[in-house]
Chains A and B, each alone.
Chain A
Amino acid sequence: MTRATACMSDSPETTIEVSHLVKTYGSLTAVNDLSFTVKRGEIVGLLGPNGAGKSTTMRILTGYLPANSGSVRICGLPVASQAEATKRHIGYMPENNPLPEDMRVSEYLWFRGRLKEMPRARLRERIDEVLELCDLKRNRHRILGRLSKGNKQRVGIAEAILAEPAVIIMDEPTIGLDPHQILIVRDLIASLRGRMSVIISSHILPEIEATCDRVLIINSGRIVAQGSPAELRQEIFGHTTYRVELAGDRENLAADLAAIEPTLKVATVGDCGPDGFCTVTLQTQSDADLGEPLLAALPPRGYRVRSLGRTQPSLEDVFLAATRRSWDARVPDKPTVNGDSRPPLPRI
């Protein structure tokens, strides 16, 4: 923990500071004026379609690729001029998790630990710890090239957390894993919360939603939306949807709903069954939970309610909406918030 705490005392709150980062490959702009910060102990998910610049951003953070302009600070140190120092604070697992095929698991971890300047005695203990953490104890003497995909992935994660860095960067850590292993990896990442800052990129959206405190949605090298999954829903969709199964005379339904909450409207009326119950979708601008008021107010007005549910737009909807919107023209209607590089999005 020594190295991680050293970083934390230097800069108590922010471990990663990215400002106005630009990276071009020839005429292709992979990262375009990207700015964000990550606090200590935060788990941040990087979302974006293929070619959005996720991997490029991660590689710049690790100091592997230089940026064209802009700055990255890890634990307060600039990556561009003090790459060696910042690399000590980073544990990185690249896309597809490349591993040398002819080494054994414990040998590999030993080699990596020595490269990361861990003292021998500490490294010996720490290898046992991470093998235990990543459930690799039984495989410690196996050859990397013969491990299953899931076990390889876990070796990659074990390697990333080996030196207890302040910042962990993982490019698609759960790619190609079965649901059981995804659960293990998710728990593993969640167990790092509060101690290390973690940036993960993933295509599996429920995955990001379950583990991340904050999500950055990137498209064409720009942040198109950021915030917690709940905030993103609110920001992108701007309304909450309720699904009610009710029976009764629906003529006055709109007026009755307006009496409960002025912005509450009937969005769609679904099929009505033979028993008279219809599925009605309601929309509201209100942030408050209207479940209880609805349940209390509908029966006295002559409706019979069989079920009531608040339907959440999934992160998938948010992702699709955010990335689609970013293709369209942007309407700058609010001043840029501090540390927020994206123009605001039009609401749907």
Chain B
Amino acid sequence: MRHYFTILSQEIRALLYSPSTYIAAVLFLLVMGFIFAGILEVYSKTPQETPPAAIFFSVFWIPVFFMVPLLTMKCFAEERRLGTLETLLTTPVTTTEVVLGKFTAAYLFYLLLWASTLGFHYILQVYARDTRFLDAGPLIGGYLFIAVSGLLFIALGVLASALTRNQSVAAILSFTLLFGLIIGLKYAGELTALNHGLLSPLRSAVDSLQIASHVEDFTHGVVDTRQVFFYLTGATLALLFSILGVEAKILSS
């Protein structure tokens, strides 16, 4: 693991130097800012039962769909296209170190972007001059959800990048994977075919994989270890497949 930090710092440096990072960050803050302003507008018109933070986090999938592919598409696809993956893997580093280093860098940046949205809540509090608007509970739960689910989302992006040498293919693939995970499972949950008695185990599995309901649980202060376990194992699995993918692509190169 001695090379892990070398690769991590190199990846963070690359992220900070790359203009696409800043474009992604600006896009992210712009979209999130509009969403937040929209939520506040609704709240100013009619009283609502849920705290604004809960609504804010329930649309987490909008930034996830474009941020995660943008952040992770470069990881391996670009290195493979340039041929620098070969020079990287002929030094005494293991594929595991490379995958983990790149994953951590993208994950840290993802967290940093989300952390910057804390500013929205702070500004709201300063201008509203009312502490009721800054309800810490849903905020902590929401950011915890972002941190935990981000592991899986970023790992899926890394996996997509490990499977191809083309950045745009990697981006589309990771978008598809995320779409299937977030929206696909939501629709699978609405299938009436699953209501048949024989399929009840499948039904309960699909029901417990509703990511939208996970957000709701987290923002209401319910941290279900089963959900945390799902994201952690999912991320581990995706990273394992990334390692295998990188090594398998070398064999066929």
10 contacts between A and B (CB under 8 A): A66-B251, A84-B94, A92-B90, A98-B82, A98-B83, A100-B84, A101-B82, A115-B7, A116-B92, A117-B3
Contact of A87 among B10, B83, B92, B250 (CB under 8 A): B92
Chain A, range 87-140, C-beta contacts under 8 Å to B: 87-88, 90, 92, 94, 96, 98-102, 107, 111-112, 114-117
Q: Which of A14-22, A57-65, A232-240 contacts B (4 or more CB under 8 A)?
A: A57-65
Q: Which residues of A contact B253 (CB under 8 A)?
A: 65
Interface size for A (C-beta < 8 A) is 27
- Tell me the smallest distance from the CB of B117 to a CB of chain A, in Å: 28
Contact of A115 among B17, B82, B92, B250 (CB under 8 A): B92
Q: Which residues of A contact B90 (CB under 8 A)?
A: 62-64, 87, 90, 92, 94
- Tell me the smallest distance from the CB of A101 to a CB of chain B, in Å: 7
Q: Is the CB of A117 within 8 A of B2?
A: yes
Interface presence of B233 (CB below 8 A): no
Chain B, range 37-94, C-beta contacts under 8 Å to A: 82-84, 86-94
Alpha-carbon distance between A90 and B6 when the two chains are bound, in angstroms:
19
Q: Which of A64, A96, A112 has the most CB of B within 10 A?
A: A64
- Tell me the smallest distance from the CB of A111 to a CB of chain B, in Å: 5
Q: Is the CB of A114 within 8 A of B6?
A: yes
Alpha-carbon distance between A59 and B251 when the two chains are bound, in angstroms:
11
Q: Which residues of A contact B2 (CB under 8 A)?
A: 117
Interface presence of B116 (CB below 8 A): no
Q: Which residues of A contact B192 (CB under 8 A)?
A: none
Alpha-carbon distance between A117 and B92 when the two chains are bound, in angstroms:
8
Cβ proximity bits B8-24 to A, threshold 8 Å, 1 near / 0 not: 00100110011000000
* Residue of B whose beta carbon sits closest to that of A102: B17
Q: Which residues of B contact A87 (CB under 8 A)?
A: 90-92
Contact of B91 among A59, A85, A102, A112 (CB under 8 A): A112
Alpha-carbon distance between A90 and B87 when the two chains are bound, in angstroms:
11
Q: Is the CB of B83 within 8 A of A94?
A: yes
Q: Which residues of A contact B86 (CB under 8 A)?
A: 59, 64, 94, 98
Q: Is the CB of A115 within 8 A of B84?
A: no
A115-B88, A115-B92 given. 15 additional CB < 8 A pairs? A59-B86, A64-B250, A65-B250, A85-B92, A87-B92, A88-B92, A92-B87, A98-B82, A98-B84, A98-B87, A100-B84, A102-B17, A115-B7, A115-B91, A117-B3
Q: Which of A62, A65, A98 has the most CB of B within 10 A?
A: A98
* Residue of B whose beta carbon sits closest to that of A160: B87
Q: Is the CB of B94 within 8 A of A94?
A: no
Give the interface of B toward A (CB within 8 A): 2-3, 6-7, 10, 13-14, 17-18, 82-84, 86-94, 250-251, 253
Q: Is the CB of A102 within 8 A of B14?
A: yes
- Top 3 closest pairs, chain A to chain B, by CB: A98-B83, A115-B91, A87-B92
* Residue of B whose beta carbon sits closest to that of A85: B92
- Tell me the smallest distance from the CB of A127 to a CB of chain B, in Å: 15
Q: Is the CB of A84 within 8 A of B250?
A: no
- Tell me the smallest distance from the CB of B165 to a CB of chain A, in Å: 12
- Tell me the smallest distance from the CB of B179 to a CB of chain A, in Å: 31
Chain A, range 59-81, C-beta contacts under 8 Å to B: 59, 62-66
Q: Is the CB of A102 within 8 A of B83?
A: no
Alpha-carbon distance between A64 and B85 when the two chains are bound, in angstroms:
10
Alpha-carbon distance between A65 and B88 when the two chains are bound, in angstroms:
13
- Tell me the smallest distance from the CB of B18 to a CB of chain A, in Å: 7
Q: Which residues of A contact B82 (CB under 8 A)?
A: 98-101
Q: Which residues of A contact B89 (CB under 8 A)?
A: 64
Q: Given A64-B250, A66-B251, A111-B6, is A116 in contact with B91 using a C-beta cutoff of 8 Å?
A: yes
Alpha-carbon distance between A117 and B251 when the two chains are bound, in angstroms:
26
Alpha-carbon distance between A230 and B17 when the two chains are bound, in angstroms:
53
Alpha-carbon distance between A62 and B14 when the two chains are bound, in angstroms:
26
Alpha-carbon distance between A84 and B92 when the two chains are bound, in angstroms:
5
Alpha-carbon distance between A59 and B83 when the two chains are bound, in angstroms:
13
* Residue of B whose beta carbon sits closest to that of A65: B250
* Residue of B whose beta carbon sits closest to that of A114: B6
- Tell me the smallest distance from the CB of B38 to a CB of chain A, in Å: 37
Q: Is the CB of A96 within 8 A of B92?
A: no
- Tell me the smallest distance from the CB of A90 to a CB of chain B, in Å: 7
Alpha-carbon distance between A112 and B3 when the two chains are bound, in angstroms:
11
- Tell me the smallest distance from the CB of A53 to a CB of chain B, in Å: 15
Alpha-carbon distance between A111 and B13 when the two chains are bound, in angstroms:
11
Q: Which residues of B contact A100 (CB under 8 A)?
A: 14, 82, 84
Alpha-carbon distance between A329 and B212 when the two chains are bound, in angstroms:
71
Alpha-carbon distance between A92 and B87 when the two chains are bound, in angstroms:
7
Alpha-carbon distance between A64 and B82 when the two chains are bound, in angstroms:
16
